[in-house]
Structure 1
């Protein structure tokens, strides 16, 4: 009889065989292999499709059989990336993808999904599943896209001048996954707004706003670093402009971008910056609450 699993909380991967889902699988498998963590691969057959309200008849058993085949192939890929077979679990479920993955996330260390829906053809939108999960999962959410990423680059953390993002930096510095890796914190100074016309904002006002942002960033970084005395030196950068544009540009220089996301109740929606980066970031994005 096999021994029960007693390692770290599992890594949950939502898998549908799309290009982005394949990248999500590979990302999660590398982490699972390095940390000897259970990898749980889940294919959710959307019940609004299987039980079509438009009178189209789908063979539910056929859908699930095809899903099991895809998951078996995914498990082989994970094993080839170093995850032991005994640490790979697969599951086929029928229901709402967001609802099923949210429920399963309660006992997981992270949820990893692809950026886009299976049928998306462009980077104009994030998939509805990843957006829905951002507001509902019970653990960090990693959104991965089919874009080239330098895995040796620093770990990026977005920190706002008002302190939002401190939880993200705390999570990175306390996470064994990133032990010994360089960390770079970026803060975007938003353009000061004139009371009447934005064009009337002076260079002096801009310089003052940037100086204030630099001081605030340094204070928050020092505060978090004091809680992690063994952490490596933290590089910092302050940019000026649109948060989504600047963070998307910054994401192309790091291996992963971690940011704190605030969920709005009762809609469980996330902010425009988090949503924008889920769409346009040039590396995997980790959303920490």
Structure 2
């Protein structure tokens, strides 16, 4: 039977959940989430998943107790880092004896956002995200933010626009909602980008581009009334969506994309564009997920 230990006040529905594992990516995620939680008056929940040991190791085995002690110590370190990054933030630690993906999906059900760290940049290029991160981006019960540590910098970029990819799918509708909300509270300009592949009919005249701009306008209709404070730039560009969105993301403080994930972990279905952006974007990426009902 799985155990669950909580320290501090139980928070649900209005908190950010961060997956912690002691990595540099997790530390960057904790610091970013702490600042966001304080700014938005949300609680912070740091979740460490400790899978149960195989059958030959009973619960009384000293090895298991040592793992528990190490996980608890790591949680305290991360909690201190969160409070150092954003003094006054209301934070708690959670220790679950489950696989990380299962534990974080369960915790995401009562969260405003799930925040995960990703590998930092390396000299030979950017780093692909792991399968657990992809699974969570596809199946969490709230939006998922992916934070990459930046060498030589204290935190990810906090200036620049919020960028959202719009393709007319239900997934991008959720992304638009999240992007407007993020741009509003950040006081940032929103860039809505619609990408089309360059093919024969794209260059036959202005009709195709006019159609694309009309589609983008339709998808954004109504949001200006809800968020009158948000200035929006509409961009229709030719080319592959991942490549063009990365161009915008390199100058952004946040990139928002949709997720087509559905079903259980065995039926993982996250679009290739979203996976590429999760792996290669320099700025934090939010994968928009419908919040749990």
TM range (shorter): 0.7 to 0.9
Q: Which residue of 2 aligns with 1:225?
A: 224
Q: Which residue of 2 aligns with 1:71?
A: 75
8 Å Cα contact 2:28-2:117 kept in structure 1: yes
Secondary structure at the counterpart of residue 218 of structure 1: helix
Q: C-alpha deviations, 1:91-116, integer Å up to 9, x for none?
A: 22221101011111111101000124
Structure 1 stretch displaced more, 167-176 or 244-253:
167-176
Matched, 1:29 2:27: no
Question: Among 208, 218, 239, which residue is 1:241 paired with?
Answer: 239
Matched, 1:165 2:172: yes
Give the distance between the partners of 2:92 and 2:202, measured in 1 at CA.
57
Give the distance between the partners of 2:103 and 2:12, measured in 1 at CA.
23
Question: Among 105, 108, 119, which residue is 1:105 paired with?
Answer: 108
Cα 1:224–1:203 change in 2 (3 A) is: closer
Deviation at 1:177, TM superposition (A): 6.5
Matched, 1:127 2:130: yes
Give the distance between the partners of 1:111 and 1:127, measured in 2 at CA.
16
Deviation at 1:83, TM superposition (A): 4.0
Deviation at 1:264, TM superposition (A): 3.6
Question: Among 146, 158, 163, which residue is 1:156 paired with?
Answer: 163
Give the distance between the partners of 1:145 and 1:236, measured in 2 at CA.
27
Q: Which residue of 2 aligns with 1:184?
A: 191
Cα 1:173–1:206 change in 2 (3 A) is: same
Deviation at 1:173, TM superposition (A): 2.5
Secondary structure at the counterpart of residue 270 of structure 1: coil
Give the distance between the partners of 2:202 and 2:14, measured in 1 at CA.
50
Aligned residues between the structures: 270
8 Å Cα contact 1:189-1:210 kept in structure 2: no
Structure 1 stretch displaced more, 149-158 or 161-170:
161-170
Q: Which residue of 1 aligns with 2:3?
A: none
Give the distance between the partners of 2:259 and 2:217, measured in 1 at CA.
21
Give the distance between the partners of 2:141 and 2:30, measured in 1 at CA.
20
Q: Which residue of 2 aligns with 1:274?
A: 274
- What are the ranges of 5 or more consecutive residues in structure 1 without an aligned counterpart? 193-200
Q: Which residue of 1 aligns with 2:66?
A: 62
- What are the ranges of 5 or more consecutive residues in structure 2 without an aligned counterpart? 1-7
8 Å Cα contact 1:188-1:241 kept in structure 2: yes
Cα 1:101–1:180 change in 2 (3 A) is: same
Secondary structure at the counterpart of residue 163 of structure 2: strand
Secondary structure at the counterpart of residue 103 of structure 1: helix
Give the distance between the partners of 1:4 and 1:123, measured in 2 at CA.
38
Deviation at 1:36, TM superposition (A): 2.5
8 Å Cα contact 1:166-1:224 kept in structure 2: no
Counterpart mapping for 1:44-63 below 5 A: 44-47=49-52, 50-51=53-54, 59-63=63-67
Question: Among 142, 145, 148, which residue is 2:148 paired with?
Answer: 145
Q: Which residue of 2 aligns with 1:263?
A: 261
Give the distance between the partners of 1:177 and 1:78, measured in 2 at CA.
24
- Give the alignment's TM-score, normalised by structure 1: 0.82
Matched, 1:205 2:204: yes
Secondary structure at the counterpart of residue 68 of structure 2: helix
Give the distance between the partners of 1:206 and 1:129, measured in 2 at CA.
45
